[in-house]
Structure 1
């Protein structure tokens, strides 16, 4: 009986000792498991650069069409698992879409006035680029247009963007400042529509952004407007408060100010903000 009790006591002590040794090991194992789970979740929800993964919709001014398509591809490559879809239109159309509750995550306009009118709908905007105006004419400049004053010639077919469109408002400002009266044959809803009219030969000239004229050098000539007579367009970018991917949207907007994005914008002819 004494042997059995002694044996039981020794076995109980050994079991307790073994259990004591296993406690810290189990605790460490639990930490590793949690860390692995956390890491897996982080991998699933974030990109390689730390930006959250998401399918983003960005409303952007028409004049950003070409450069943003390139920028979007660069951002997706840098952030695997994220997809950026752009919807391009005149800034006034984009503002209307935001006010009507269109599902989107970020907004980039071609002027601060339009963005300022949406303060209740957006986060704090950041200017990501600037632009200037040029006179677009047909290839070879058949009408021999040299400056803004030439646009007042009633024999010319001049097309401008509508006054509510940023480029139309800028055009109006520079023409009024120089006391030049231009009678446009049409007023278009965005800058690309103005450029198209000139490209197709439906207009002798139009006022567009420098960057837009640069996308059609094989079809139009760009007549420079002196800085003293020109206007500077600013492009603010902001997240939308209705976004379902606020962190991912903020990451994209912040990326637009990085050296990589700025190089793409400047290579396309945009000026530094």
Structure 2
């Protein structure tokens, strides 16, 4: 059985005792009986927000734990930022501690990084490092860089998804070959030396080209040539992100038509073998130029 208890304000208790003294001689009753009388008289006067106070105390303890957790996460993040910036050989690096003006922003960034870890099922330290690596590589000026890392949350998540797709590429050698062929075309036409291997938002297009040319059963160099030739009139070349899509297919079909890939004399090519044979001849023809 639950033992009776009392939680009452001093002012209310004084009124209860005053009322008891009107009817009882306190000096002549036992302490046990007096306690019972006080409990009975206090009914309706006890604090009805006791549970709220207790709950608030528990909530405060929990909040303190959360704040402590945020502090620990922010401290970890600060150490990792310092380490990564050292690896990049940055000068004048200052470790962000609790007295630093960017500490509040760092705590917010820690929460963003935790979300990144949860969304991508990453260990905390590994996830923090990955977020920072992607973000720091994007930053050119380190003025207010913590704020920039906060603002980059969406783009960092998107880039990480692209990196996973690149990592899961089922034919990495051919994708790289397509990339190398594409940049060699740019170099030949413009003299510019390009490399998109460290630009996931661009490199992903070469995976798409590989998948598409595999599906169409067309040599990738013919496909790339079609994209370049379609823009040659403007003395331009397609961006990697322009290599796939409806416009890219239009450029391919035009290229095949103009080079009579779809027709052999007046006879239309109907079989895959005939198409492959025509493509091979075109491939040899273009290489002789």
TM-score (norm 1): 0.28
Instruction: Give the structure with the larger helix fraction.
Output: 2
Relative contact order higher in (CA < 8 Å, ≥ 6 apart): 1
Instruction: Give the structure with the larger strand fraction.
Output: 1
TM-score (norm 2): 0.27
Q: Give the greater-gyration-radius structure (CA).
A: 2
